[in-house]
Amino acid sequence: MIDFDRDYRMLIGGKLVGSTQTLPAFNPATRAEIARVPDATKEQLDEAVAAAAQAFRSWSKTSWEQRAAVLEKMAAALEANAEGLCRLLIREQGKPLAGAQVEVFGGAAWLRETAKQRLHDEVVEDGPERRVVTRFSPLGVVGAIVPWNFPVMLAMWKIAPALMAGDTIIVKPSPFTPLSTLKLGEIWKDIVPPGVFSVVSGGDELGKWMTAHPGIAKIAFTGHTETGKHVMRSAAGTLKRITLELGGNDPAIVLPDVDPKAIAPQLFWAAFQNNAQFCNATKRLYVHEDVYDAVLAALVEFIKAQKVGDGSEPDTVLGPIQNLPQYEKVIGFFEDCRRDGHRFAVGGEIDRAAKGWFIPVTLVDDPPDDSRIVVEEPFGPILPVLKWKDEADVIRRANDSVYGLGASVWGKDLDAVQRIGSQLEAGTVWLNEIHQYSPHQAFGGHKQSGIGCENSLHGLMEYTNWQTITLHKKAALGPATA
């Protein structure tokens, strides 16, 4: 029986281990320290890499079917421990139960679906003289660096394809949300061969060591755009493969033919799911001037009925901000808005004396396009609502960003919805829906939202090297000597 409330250890070389130093973990709904976790030393990272490299020798030679069978067992173990894991995720991340379940059960589904994927050899030529085949061979040891907003799910997006591709993987959770990931190590300790899957916990320094480590072949990173640039620079030293899933400033465009009351809940969830601590949250909401006032009013009404609170309380819809630095950062956006005279349609008042890092859901009424709240990613529940009237102009405004992660368009006129959607510069464009993901659907950012993609066969390929083997069938090599 796994005790989810204590005893958080790393998984290195198939063994659960502590470290000489520890770091605190907090409950963001109460600000209380709830645990201490190992702060890995450089030597422990070396040990994890050595064990992963050793394990790679045999794991890389297993068949797709053998690896799929391990992923199936991992999925079943995740589900068997779902109750404890969800409870822990609520405590360390702050999200309500429904959000925790999406991560844990969704994570299991990700393992199962990825287990069905295969990369087949491609026969490029097979003539009388020559046979040419391109195949996908595993890379080696992968380092996964994960953020704090979806600790389990975003780890799974890396673990599942890495293991299926025949790589071994070392996961580093965010120092703000290490607990559930450390427990994944315990859950899978006896299911995955030693060294094939490892978990190391520590601060940002540990991430830097990973990106520079000569024994790691690829870094799969999710986090801030600025951190992604550091990762890329550091990985260049050993020319590591990288997948970077970075920040976003997703626009949503609302057409004049929507029903304001009917669309308000959907727009609410588009922007505030996971308390807006979401790379793909709608971060700029462009509403046509004909329905602007009505949509804004319907959103305000809907927001007033939602409870922000401790994720462990059953009626909580949105939890706290996950950590203190992020809380302060989000407050900075409120201060900017107030200083620049922007109007809050709802929210705006922060109770700094509250028990946890709570921020009220806030709408900013039509701030200028060059205001910080429009240009930057707040990663918290404050959303600018912007008026538009000309289609070409709103497309230009939506694309006027260094980011290009996601976008959405909402309206009854499906021709207009598709016409606008096809002109948006983003890795995923949702039309009349949002946040629909699948292990079989490529996900990644354009522009400064990332490099490469996760999920789908395209994502799986990023965990492999392409190798072309050419065989000349009739080469003049002379008579056989033996």
Q: How far is the CB of 250 from ligand NAD (least distance, A)?
A: 10
What are 176's two structure tokens? Answer: 């703000």
141 burial (CB, 10 Å; 0-12 / 13-18 / 19+) is buried
- Report the distance separating Cα 199 and Cα 263, nearest Å: 42
Smaller CB separation from ligand NAD, 29 or 231: 231
Q: Say whether residue 180 binds ligand NAD (CB under 6 A).
A: no
Token pair, residue 429, equals 């464009």
Q: Of the listed pieces 60-68, 103-111, 126-134, 218-226, which binds ligand NAD according to CB under 6 A?
A: 218-226
Scanning 85-93, 145-153, 235-243, 353-361 for contacts with ligand NAD by CB under 6 A, the matching segment is: 145-153
Concatenating the DSSP letter of every residue in 359-415 gives: ---EEEES--TTSHHHHS---SSEEEEEEE--HHHHHHHHH-SSEESEEEEE-S-HH
Question: Which of positions 40-69 make contact with ligand NAD (CB under 6 A)?
Answer: none
- Strand 21-27 versus strand 446-447 pairing type: unpaired
Chosen residue from 198, 201, 222, 273 binding ligand NAD by CB under 6 A: 222
Q: Per CB under 6 A, which region of 65-73, 188-196, 224-232, 251-259 contacts ligand NAD?
A: 224-232
Q: Tell which positions 226-265 bind ligand NAD, by CB under 6 A.
A: 227, 230-231, 245-248
Q: For residue 251, which of 409, 371, 411 has the smallest C-alpha distance?
A: 409
- Give the integer Cα–Cα distance in Å for 181 and 10: 9
Ranges within 337-356 binding ligand NAD (CB under 6 A): none
The pair of three-digit structure tokens given for residue 9, joined into one six-digit string: 């250890």
What span, in angstroms and rounded, lies between the C-alpha atoms of 155 and 150?
8
> Which range in 141-149, 358-366, 394-402, 461-469 contacts ligand NAD by CB under 6 A?
141-149
Q: Report the C-alpha gap between 133 and 473 in whole angstroms.
A: 13
Closest CB to ligand NAD belongs to which residue? 207
Contact between 147 and ligand NAD per CB under 6 A: yes
List the catalytic residues.
245, 279
Interface with ligand NAD in residues 412-471 (CB under 6 A): 445, 450
- Identify which of residues 186 and 250 has a Cβ nearer to ligand NAD in the complex: 250
Of the candidates 141, 140, 139, 150, the residue with the CA atom closest to the CA atom of residue 173: 150
- Of 99, 207, 311, 452, which lies in the binding site for ligand NAD, with binding defined by CB under 6 A? 207
Residues binding ligand NAD (CB under 6 A):
145-149, 154, 172, 174-175, 204, 207-208, 211, 222-224, 227, 230-231, 245-248, 279, 377, 379, 405, 445, 450
